[in-house]
Amino acid sequence: MLKKDDEKTIIKTLESCTDFGDAQVYYKELRKFGIDIKKNEEVIEIINFLEAIGKDDRLYIITALKEKDRCVCELEAILQKSQPSVSHHLKILEKANLIRGWKKGKFTHYSLIKSNFIRFNKILSEFLGNISNWFGEIII
């Protein structure tokens, strides 16, 4: 949240930026637009997905699980990381519904939830496709 002085500075800058009428009214419209963006479920879902995969170790885990289901000890060996470190990343991926774990004997194994990757791929493709339309180009 901005301080009142910061809001006044932005409004003053808007006044000299371009001609769109009353800068105070326009500032309020921009604030509402910003609030709406932050409530957009598709954007929130994309943010959560990107945050979940946005760490190299988590991408390595996903890559390892693409090949086959694996137990934590396999992932420790692949990543050369301790069990607590690997478990931390697995919990984040599970919370994002990208992987699921199950007990097999005394070990926990993990697999990708492929349907969610397909869904996120569709969401991202549509979102990025829409962005490319803004520029009249095809990115994807």
68 and 89 share one domain = yes
Number of domains making up the chain = 2
- pLDDT tens digits for range 12-71: 899 888 777 889 999 999 999 999 999 998 889 889 999 999 999 999 999 999 999 999
Structural domain contains residue 15:
yes
64 and 110 share one domain = yes
- The sign of the torsion formed by the CA atoms of 39, 40, 43, 44 equals positive
13 and 55 share one domain = no
Structural domain contains residue 72:
yes
32 and 52 share one domain = no
Structural domain contains residue 57:
yes
In 3D space, the residue among 42, 53, 41, 39 whose CA is nearest the CA of residue 123 turns out to be 42
Structural domain contains residue 127:
no
Q: What percent of the chain has pLDDT over 90?
A: 64
User: The whole model's pTM is what?
Assistant: 0.74
Residue length, the chain? 140
pLDDT, residue 136, reads: 65
Say yes or no to pLDDT of 140 above 60: no
pLDDT, residue 32, reads: 96
Question: What's 98's DSSP letter?
Answer: S
pLDDT, residue 109, reads: 97
The CATH number that applies at residue 50 is: 1.10.10.10
61 and 77 share one domain = yes
User: Please, what is the average pLDDT of the chain?
Assistant: 90
- The sign of the torsion formed by the CA atoms of 112, 115, 116, 122 equals positive
> How far are the Cα atoms of 15, 44, 95 from residue 38, in angstroms, in the given order?
25, 7, 21
25 and 57 share one domain = no
Query: In the chain, where do the E strands start and end?
Result: 70-71, 99-104, 107-112
Residue 94, token pair as written in the block: 């599970």
Owning domain of residue 107: 46-117
51 and 110 share one domain = yes
